[in-house]
């Protein structure tokens, strides 16, 4: 029949484990050594007949090791150091209860893992969310999960947070961020223009020369593409950063123009910045412009440029000034 046993650890007991952890950390050589030792502990435990309550905790150790080794998650150095320091106890097989002791050899390891899991619950929760996102996003976009990384995850969470803020504002006040923001409406554009009309308006300009094409005009975004070829290469055969900026400003400016009254106003570029994240040598890059702020005198647009595999190539932010049409025409 099952037997329930509760182990209560006092602050003094926990402090002893912390002291043992600190002692092991002082003698450990490297992070790789610590991770390997934790993995070896799991491997050796698989060969023994362990009580379920110990085995369940050892499975938690597997999640920590996977998080450290996952290149897609790319745990920042400071966070990685924090997780590795929590695993350092497992380097020493001659710990509080030697691992070769029958039945209970891993009891102290199980207790230490429980302490680690509680200490690192925020990191573990974030990693589990990332794994779920990666699998779902890969299936949605038809990609290899290995190509979906931390940058994609953070960008998706950022968009999710912004959408949540907008929904709550609309729920609480019945509107978005005022008539000028555009957030309270189903879409931000004041008029509908299709992709063909956008492309026709770019004839005989730099936009056409670079091969930039508008693909889609949505409720609150404009998406377009640009070829990566001799027109957009730099001397080393890579996509020129300036070409990425040209694509970003083109899409952001087009989107901004749909948020003003064309009879009396126009949107002109005020400032643009760009972070170049990944090199591209051929094919197409696809950019999507979405609003961050739409005000009476300024607009701010976020433009995300990806390669054909959906990987981020460039992240750009464009600030537009809304001016009277006569002023903009000079």
- Assess whether 155 carries a catalytic annotation: no
Residue 151: C-alpha distances to residues 73, 105, 161, 311, 323 (Å): 9, 41, 15, 9, 35
DSSP for 269-282 reads EEEEEEEE-----S
Angle between helices 31-46 and 52-69 (to 10 degrees): 140
Q: How many other CB atoms are there within 10 angstroms of residue 246's CB atom?
A: 19
**Strands annotated E in 106-244:** 213-217, 222-227
Q: For residues 226 and 100, give the distance between their C-alpha atoms in angstroms, rounded to a whole number.
A: 62
Pick from 285, 302, 287, 294: nearest CA to 322: 294
Tell me how far the alpha carbon of residue 258 is from its chain's centroid.
29
Distance between CA atoms of 115 and 121, rounded to whole angstroms? Answer: 10
Token match 């009254």: residue?
261
Tokens of 193: 């223009």
Return the closest-CA partner of residue 301 out of 239, 258, 262, 242. 258
Q: Which helix (H) or strand (E) holds 35?
A: helix 31-46
Q: Which two tokens stand for residue 318?
A: 């464009």
Q: Give the tokens for residue 201.
A: 């308006």
Please answer whether residues 312 and 155 qualify as being in contact, where contact means their C-beta atoms are separated by less than 8 angstroms.
Answer: yes
Distance, in Å, from the CA atom of 73 to the CA atom of 71, rounded to the nearest integer, reads: 5
Among residues 159, 170, 249, 308, the one annotated as catalytic is: 249
What is the Cα–Cα distance from 139 to 195, expressed in whole angstroms? 28
For residues 301 and 256, what is the distance between their CA atoms, to the nearest angstrom? 8
Which residues are known catalytic residues? 249
């Amino acid at each position: 029949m099952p037997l329930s046993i509760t182990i209560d650890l006092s602050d003094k007991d926990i402090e002893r484990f912390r002291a043992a952890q600190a002692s092991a950390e002082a003698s450990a050589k490297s992070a790789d050594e610590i991770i390997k030792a934790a993995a070896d502990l799991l491997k050796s435990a698989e060969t023994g007949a362990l009580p379920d309550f110990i085995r369940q905790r050892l499975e938690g150790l597997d999640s920590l090791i996977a998080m450290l080794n996952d290149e897609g998650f790319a745990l920042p150095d400071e966070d990685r150091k924090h997780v590795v320091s929590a695993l350092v106890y497992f380097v020493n097989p001659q710990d509080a209860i030697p691992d070769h002791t029958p039945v209970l050899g891993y009891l102290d390891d199980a207790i230490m893992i429980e302490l680690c899991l509680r200490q690192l619950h925020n990191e573990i929760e974030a990693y589990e969310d990332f794994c779920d996102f990666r699998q779902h996003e890969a299936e949605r976009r038809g990609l290899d999960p290995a190509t979906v990384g931390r940058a994609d995850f953070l960008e998706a969470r950022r968009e999710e947070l912004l959408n949540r803020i907008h929904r709550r504002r609309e729920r609480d006040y019945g509107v978005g961020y005022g008539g000028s923001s555009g957030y309270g409406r189903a879409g931000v554009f004041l008029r509908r223009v299709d992709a063909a009309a956008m492309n026709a308006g770019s004839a005989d300009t730099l936009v056409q020369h670079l091969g930039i094409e508008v693909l889609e005009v949505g409720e609150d975004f404009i998406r377009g593409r640009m070829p990566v070829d001799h027109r957009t290469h730099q001397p080393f055969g890579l996509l020129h950063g300036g070409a990425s900026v040209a694509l970003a400003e083109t899409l952001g400016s087009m989107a901004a123009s749909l948020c003003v009254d064309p009879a009396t106003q126009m949107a002109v570029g005020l400032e643009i910045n760009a972070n170049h994240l990944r090199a591209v040598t051929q094919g197409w890059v696809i950019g999507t412009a979405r609003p961050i702020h739409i005000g009476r005198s300024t607009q701010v647009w976020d433009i995300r440029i990806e390669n054909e595999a959906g990987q981020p190539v460039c992240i750009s932010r464009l600030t537009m000034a809304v001016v009277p049409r006569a002023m903009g025409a000079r």
